[in-house]
């Protein structure tokens, strides 16, 4: 898996208005009359052989696409779209690119029903989901609320399959919802108090799947099949004592997307059993989306993932061996790609990457070393280090002037953005930085001019990181020069990902460097929990986050006033369905993070190259490229991309 993908996989948002009363989830797809359908040319022979005709395969209330993000639709059916991957686990990219979710984000990052015909939210605690009549899985079996019941009763509440019980996003103050199956197409989830995470959990890049293909998975569940039958249905040797739980987990891989037998609702279905060098995804004949001309989507007949060494992907993409490529490309490849495009005919586009900072520094507020911990907790010290970074030089030298100097914060495309969030304590001012470091008490220096800690040790910051990006190490070298000018010595130490995590979580690491925040395009209804000490993955406060994650069983209770305040604000956001209150909470939390400089950002607005083949249509010229929301190119619905003749 690529470094950016590792960094990116995490969370997301909620844009259903939760004012008093009920609101309906509107659809990006108009409620127009279904047009006269045209059979998909590549399926004509299968229809002759017995596959139902297209008007019998789609829902009676299909999703009719009216918005084409590249402005080049409707298109036409046909063609194989080739893409390059570097790891067999990249089959999960098809889940991201398909972006078939109960609820999805559009390009403005607002929410709409997708697989669902509609949804209704009432008082932020009652959610009614309506399925599309006649919708079917890729094998032709009806998609109904039985698939939701199976997940809830037989997976989420089965102690063997889910030892910890239902996901935390399905619990409000530890209490699960009341789940009512109204009919074959309607299901309702009700909590006693508001659940601000439920709707957004459905629209994430890696969603909380509320359903499973029950008709397929029952043959691997001990409640419905004997152990002998389960072993018979399972592929591969099961030995003398087959474990039904392991078998069920192995075949239930909706996100990983590496089981060709697992029915799907995605536009393309895997037909290649792993391991393989080429993974072929064929069109789902029962897909629920159509265009206004009566063509069933997706437009591409097949999507083919071909394995290649990661370092060869840019060269192959530049030569036209990929019809559509974003994975394993970087801005350092841009010049080569543009040059290659002159002969291969590909188009190289640049989208904005979704990260609060390309590289951020995290002073560990839970460091084991008493002296460093005290220093890291002094806001003057954190501000001084930020002021000492010449971000304009960093931009020009490392990023060719193509990025923006910024704190580690939200991006300008968020409605919550204020310019000061990016600039406060982030303007190069070595004079002010020196003054703050003197105020902290770091007034003594050694013979080389570096400051000394209060206990006499050199003030040498060892920054631990696990980045494989050459631009990150180059950036750290330049920042080390900047900090040297204010008397702070910085060394950076690469670690394996496992050691990096262990040393940060234990407090052995005094400071770490990693990618910035990923909740970067929030609305008022997006959870602000990333900006509070709520998870162990928060590198500036890992032990406080661990305490919250484990409900006090591990880690340490937050004992810093400014950070504790963020937890109070978060609780206020979680218990309020009022938009004005939520906005006020967001403003406060962003302001606290800005003033306290809990993390030290460098630059953002990094551009992501997207290589588009000469015949590919409807891929946006400009776009937002982030794991969540949207799943990279998935935000722009690749089922609407097509080949020109």
d(CA 635, CA 632): 6
* pLDDT for 26: 39
Note whether 606 and 360 are within 8 A (CB). Answer: no
pLDDT of residue 73: 85
Confidence of residue 160 (pLDDT cuts 50, 70, 90): very high
Q: How many residues are given for the chain?
A: 645
Burial class (CB in 10 A: 0-12, 13-18, 19+), 107: middle
The tokens for 75 are: 């298109």
Count the neighbouring beta carbons within 10 Å of the beta carbon of residue 74: 18
- Report DSSP state, residue 392: H
Mean pLDDT of the chain: 93
Q: How far is CA 627 from the centre of its chain?
A: 3
Paired strand residues for 103 = 113
pLDDT at 235: 76
Distance, CA of 288 to CA of 303 (rounded, Å) = 18
CA distance 301 to 284: 9
The DSSP code for 346 is -
Are 63 and 114 in contact by the 8 Å Cβ rule? The answer is: yes
* For residue 8, pLDDT beyond 90: no
Lookup: tokens for 279: 């993974």
pLDDT of 240: 65
What average pLDDT does the segment 437-462 reach? 96
Per-residue model confidence as pLDDT tens digits over 64-101 = 999 999 999 899 999 999 999 999 999 999 999 999 99
3-state secondary structure of 519: coil
pLDDT digits 0-9 by tens, 570-598: 999 998 878 899 999 999 999 999 999 99
Residue 199 backbone phi and psi in degrees, to 5: -65, -45
Among 275-279, 396-400, 532-536, the least confident range: 396-400
Can you read off the two tokens belonging to residue 559?
């004992």
pLDDT bin (cut points 50, 70, 90) of residue 50 is very high
pLDDT-derived band at 239 (thresholds 50, 70, 90) equals low
Instruction: Say how far apart CA 92 and CA 615 lie, in whole Å.
Output: 26
Taking only the tens place, the pLDDT of each residue in 547-558 is 999 989 999 999
- Contact, 109 vs 521, CB < 8 A? yes
User: What string of H, E and C letters represents the secondary structure of 399-422?
Assistant: HCCCCEECCCCCCCCCCCCCHHHH
Whether 159 has a pLDDT exceeding 80, the answer reads yes
For 43, the enclosing helix (H) or strand (E) is: none
Structural domain spans, the chain:
213-251, 308-345, 360-604
The closest of 507, 568, 518 to 377, measured between CA atoms, is 507
For residue 531, what are its two tokens? Answer: 């900006």
Percent of the residues in the chain that have a pLDDT greater than 90, as a whole number: 88
Helix axes 379-387, 430-440, angle to 10 degrees: 160
CATH classification number, 360-604, choose in 3.30.70.980, 3.40.50.300, 3.20.20.140, 3.10.105.10: 3.10.105.10
Model confidence at 23, pLDDT cuts 50, 70, 90, reads: very low
Q: In this predicted structure, what is the pLDDT of residue 467?
A: 81
What's the pLDDT at 555?
96
Report residue 471 CA to chain centroid gap: 23
């Amino acid at each position: 898996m690529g470094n950016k993908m590792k960094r990116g996989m995490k969370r997301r948002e909620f844009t259903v208005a939760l004012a008093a009363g009920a609101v309906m989830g509107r659809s990006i797809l108009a409620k127009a009359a279904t047009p006269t359908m045209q059979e998909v040319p590549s399926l004509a022979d299968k229809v002759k052989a017995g596959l139902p005709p297209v008007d019998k395969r789609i829902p009676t209330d299909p999703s009719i696409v009216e918005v084409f993000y590249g402005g080049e639709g409707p298109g036409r059916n046909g063609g194989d779209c080739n893409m390059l991957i570097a790891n067999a686990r990249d089959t999960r990219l098809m889940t991201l690119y398909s972006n078939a979710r109960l609820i999805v984000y559009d390009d403005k990052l607002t929410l709409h029903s997708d697989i669902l015909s509609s949804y209704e939210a009432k008082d932020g605690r009652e959610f009614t989901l309506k399925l599309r009549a006649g919708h079917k899985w890729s094998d032709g079996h009806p998609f109904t609320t039985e698939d939701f019941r199976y997940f809830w009763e037989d997976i989420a509440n089965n102690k063997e399959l889910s030892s910890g019980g239902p996901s935390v996003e399905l619990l409000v103050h530890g209490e699960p919802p009341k789940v009512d199956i109204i009919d074959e197409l309607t299901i309702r989830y009700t909590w006693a108090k508001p659940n601000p995470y439920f709707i957004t959990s459905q629209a994430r890049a890696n969603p909380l799947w509320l359903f499973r293909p029950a008709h397929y998975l029952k043959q691997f569940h001990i409640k419905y099949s004997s152990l002998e039958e389960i072993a018979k249905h399972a592929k591969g040797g099961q030995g003398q004592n087959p474990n039904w739980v392991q078998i069920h987990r192995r075949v239930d891989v909706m996100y990983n997307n590496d089981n060709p037998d697992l029915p799907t609702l995605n536009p393309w279905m895997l037909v290649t059993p792993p391991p393989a060098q080429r993974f072929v995804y064929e069109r789902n004949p029962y897909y629920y989306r159509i265009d206004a001309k009566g063509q069933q989507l997706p437009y591409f007949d097949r999507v083919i993932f071909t394995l290649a060494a990661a370092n060869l992907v840019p060269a192959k993409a530049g030569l036209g061996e990929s019809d559509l490529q974003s994975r394993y490309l970087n801005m350092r490849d841009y010049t080569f790609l543009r040059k290659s495009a002159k002969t291969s005919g590909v188009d190289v586009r640049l989208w904005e990457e979704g990260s609060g900072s390309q590289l951020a520094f995290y002073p560990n507020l839970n460091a084991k070393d008493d002296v460093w911990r005290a220093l890291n907790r002094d806001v003057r010290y954190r501000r001084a280090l930020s002021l000492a970074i010449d971000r304009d030089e960093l931009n020009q030298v490392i990023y060719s002037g193509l990025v923006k100097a910024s704190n580690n914060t939200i991006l300008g495309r968020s409605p919550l953005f204020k310019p000061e969030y990016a600039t406060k304590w982030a303007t190069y001012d070595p004079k002010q930085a020196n003054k703050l470091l003197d105020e902290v008490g770091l007034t003594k220096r050694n013979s080389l001019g570096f400051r000394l800690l209060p206990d006499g040790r050199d003030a040498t910051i060892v920054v631990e990181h696990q980045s494989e990006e050459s631009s990150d190490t180059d950036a750290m070298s330049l920042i080390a020069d900047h900090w040297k000018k204010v008397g702070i010595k910085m060394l950076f130490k690469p670690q394996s990902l496992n050691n990096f995590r262990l040393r940060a979580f234990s407090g052995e690491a005094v400071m770490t460097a990693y990618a910035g925040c990923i909740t970067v395009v929030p609305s008022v209804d997006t959870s602000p929990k990333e900006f509070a000490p709520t998870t162990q993955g928060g590198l500036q406060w890992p032990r406080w986050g661990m305490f919250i994650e484990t409900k006090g069983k591990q880690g340490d209770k937050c004992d810093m006033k400014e950070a504790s305040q963020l937890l109070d604000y978060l609780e206020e956001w979680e218990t309020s369905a009022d938009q004005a209150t939520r906005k006020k909470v967001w403003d406060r939390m962003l302001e606290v993070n800005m003033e306290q400089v809990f993390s030290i950002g460098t630059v953002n607005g990094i551009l992501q190259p997207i290589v588009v083949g000469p015949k590919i249509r409807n891929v946006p010229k400009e776009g937002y490229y982030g794991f969540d929301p949207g799943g990279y190119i998935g935000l722009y619905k690749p089922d609407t991309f097509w080949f020109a003749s």
